[in-house]
Amino acid sequence: MAYQTINPTTNQLVKTWPNHTDAQVEDALASAHRLYKSEWSKGSIQPRLAVLRKLADLIDARNEELARIITLEMGKLIGESRGELQVVAQIARFYADNAERFLAPVSVQTDQGDAWIEHQPIGVLVAVEPWNFPFYQLMRVLAPNMAAGNPIVAKHASIVPHCASVFEALVTEAGAPKGAWTNLFVTADQIGTLIADPRVQGAAMTGSEGAGSVIAAQAGKYLKKSTLEMGGNDVFVVLEDSDLDKAVEVGTFSRLHVAGQECIGAKRFVVREEVADAFLSKLTAAFKAVKIGDPLDETTTLGPLSSAGARDGLIKQVKAAVSSGATLHYGAGVVDLPGHFFEPAILTNVTRDNPAYFEEFFGPVAQVYVVKTDDEIVELANDSNYGLSGVVFSKNIERAKSLASRIETGAVWINTFSSTAPELPFGGVKRSGYGRELSELGIKEFVNQKLVLVAKA
Ligand code: NAP
């Protein structure tokens, strides 16, 4: 696929970016490997942390300029772009402030002698990343691995090449040496060749199941460590004792944030029968109230989807869900604008034999399920191929905690939406992937946790 900037609001082609040749890819890999063998990776952590601090400052200072680049390239609301960039700077600062402590040797109690675990870089990593948080996804991989000393060659999604090249330029401007982070406009085949190369020691992938399983297979074939951050069809549970208005407000935000293109967005609303009618009518009113339009306009509340393919795929999914028996309770009407817009929609009566029951809808489409008991909630939540995150709304925190413990996902949030922060681990189970990004867990994914033992005298 060509690397192209197409404004999702106007459907105008802005720029086509040339692919990197095999020779350029080899040059990038050779530089990264040389860096790994150098004092930069093996020596003091301080110069690497200094780059992260400078990078955070640059991103904060250019928040508005970078936010516009994001919005013009993948269509999220300008306010959402600003918010993304704030978190991106926080991640860089978080690892700059904490990585030395996370990577310090940890002593091990044993009667064999004096033992400890050291944390050392393992080598060049390949990162393959999606477009929905075009700076955040890159920083989730860069910050911990720069701190740890692992150089990265990165393939960003082909619809956000401007973001990809600006991010690389920022890392360089922050003082990173050649090879620390190299953006590559490459094909899937070139990624396969990179993963197979003995100089590469790991692959970090965020995206869809299909791409994840290709990357994981390539990494597995060559015995390379991989982390996979895939999609989800997260539940948003509303118990009968919830603050219903709050649940609707937060649920609407979670489903429509970034036009519904968020891996941890609420996708299946699972509502206790006692409040189901009230919840559905309030959710419908909230969906009807959105203002669809230009994401640069501060008053817009729902922008376009990221690409024509994303919109067309979603239209197909909704049609298939309805033809398999679901009720289109609201929305999915035609939006008379030139870009990739999609009217938010609500599906009800999605039965287990409907393909929609197991699918991820990566756009502003909510499914609403009605349940009679808490056991039914757990059964429905866990009857999924995915296991990324989930939400429980209730005024009874003990009851919500008990449900949270029973839901098979990488995270559960109570009385708020699933979100992210540098100190909180991020990742899933089942087909949502494996491994964790962010937090102390994230920095430990691609380090050699090396045991050293001095025998007793
Ligand atoms: P995608 O098609 O899998 O694309 C993600 C990245 O993988 C892009 O850079 C893409 O490049 C690349 N890619 C695709 N096929 C490849 C292959 N065979 N070999 C190497 N690279 C390949 O994902 P998407 O549909 O754009 O993104 C949305 C998905 O990501 C959703 O399922 C969402 O839930 C998930 N996601 C998960 C998380 C998380 O942290 N768990 C976060 C964000 C998104 P091209 O663009 O060139 O195809």
**For the chain, what are the domain ranges?**
3-230+432-455, 235-421
Among 16, 400, 429, which residue's Cα sits nearest to residue 227? 429
Is pLDDT of 1 > 90?
no
How much of the chain exceeds pLDDT 70, in percent? 100
How far is the CA of 84 from the CAs of 134, 211, 217, 238, 419, in angstroms?
9, 24, 31, 27, 11
How far is the CA of 396 from the CAs of 11, 238, 249, 269, 400, in angstroms?
47, 12, 19, 19, 6
pLDDT at 338: 94
Instruction: Provide the residue type at 347 as one letter.
Output: L
Fold category of 235-421 in CATH: Aldehyde Dehydrogenase; Chain A, domain 2 (3.40.309)
Q: How far apart are CA 7 and CA 20, in angstroms?
A: 23
Q: Whose CA is nearest to atom 27 of ligand 1?
A: 207
Q: Whose CA is nearest to atom 46 of ligand 1?
A: 157
Ligand 1 centroid distance, CA of 207 (Å): 3
Q: Which of 80, 163, 183, 208 to mutate to test the pocket of ligand 1 (most atoms within 8 A of CB)?
A: 208
pLDDT at 243: 97
Q: How far apart are CA 130 and CA 156, in angstroms?
A: 6
Instruction: Kindly report the backbone phi and psi dihedral angles of residue 356, in degrees, each rounded to the nearest multiple of 5, phi listed first.
Output: -60, -25
Ligand 1 centroid distance, CA of 284 (Å): 30
Hunting for tokens 């009807």 — which residue is that? 288
Among 126, 128, 117, 119, which residue's Cα sits nearest to residue 201? 126
Local confidence band at 372 (pLDDT 50, 70, 90 cut-offs): very high
pLDDT at 457: 83
Ligand 1 centroid distance, CA of 211 (Å): 6
Q: Whose CA is nearest to atom 47 of ligand 1?
A: 158
Q: pLDDT for 96-130, tens place per residue?
A: 999 999 999 999 999 999 999 999 999 999 999 99
Q: Which residues line ligand 1 (CB under 6 A)?
A: 1, 128-132, 155-158, 188, 191, 206-208, 211, 214-215, 229-232, 263, 360, 362, 388
Ligand 1: which atom is nearest the Cα of residue 426? 40
List the structure tokens of 209: 């199941």
Ligand 1: which atom is nearest the Cα of residue 428? 41
Catalytically annotated residue among 129, 263, 359, 360? 263
Ligand 1 centroid distance, CA of 128 (Å): 7
**Any catalytic annotation for residue 163?**
no
How much of the chain exceeds pLDDT 90, in percent? 99
What is the distance between the terminal CA atoms of the chain, rounded to a whole angstrom? 62
Ligand 1 centroid distance, CA of 18 (Å): 20
Burial of residue 145 (CB within 10 Å: 0-12, 13-18, 19+) is: buried
Ligand 1 centroid distance, CA of 129 (Å): 6
| Coil, strand or helix at 136 | helix
Q: Whose CA is nearest to atom 34 of ligand 1?
A: 231
Over residues 358-372, mean pLDDT: 98
Fold category of 3-230+432-455 in CATH: Aldehyde Dehydrogenase; Chain A, domain 1 (3.40.605)
pLDDT at 105: 98
Q: pLDDT for 219-256, tens place per residue?
A: 999 999 999 999 999 999 999 999 999 999 999 999 99
Ligand 1 centroid distance, CA of 362 (Å): 12
Catalytically annotated residue among 229, 359, 360, 437? 229
Ligand 1: which atom is nearest the Cα of residue 133? 43
Over residues 51-65, mean pLDDT: 98
Q: pLDDT for 264-323, tens place per residue?
A: 999 999 999 999 999 999 999 999 999 999 999 999 999 999 999 999 999 999 999 999
Ligand 1 centroid distance, CA of 56 (Å): 25
Ligand 1: which atom is nearest the Cα of residue 140? 40
pLDDT at 347: 98
List the structure tokens of 128: 């393959």
Q: Which of 76, 234, 263 to mutate to test the pocket of ligand 1 (most atoms within 8 A of CB)?
A: 263
Q: Whose CA is nearest to atom 15 of ligand 1?
A: 211
- Predicted TM-score (pTM) of the model is 0.98
Local confidence band at 137 (pLDDT 50, 70, 90 cut-offs): very high
| Coil, strand or helix at 31 | helix
Q: How far apart are CA 32 and CA 123, in angstroms?
A: 9
Q: How far apart are CA 157 and CA 162, in angstroms?
A: 10
**Any catalytic annotation for residue 229?**
yes
Average pLDDT, the chain: 98
Q: pLDDT for 159-170, tens place per residue?
A: 999 999 999 999
| Coil, strand or helix at 413 | strand
Hunting for tokens 């477009």 — which residue is that? 131
Q: Which of 16, 25, 126, 206 to mutate to test the pocket of ligand 1 (most atoms within 8 A of CB)?
A: 206
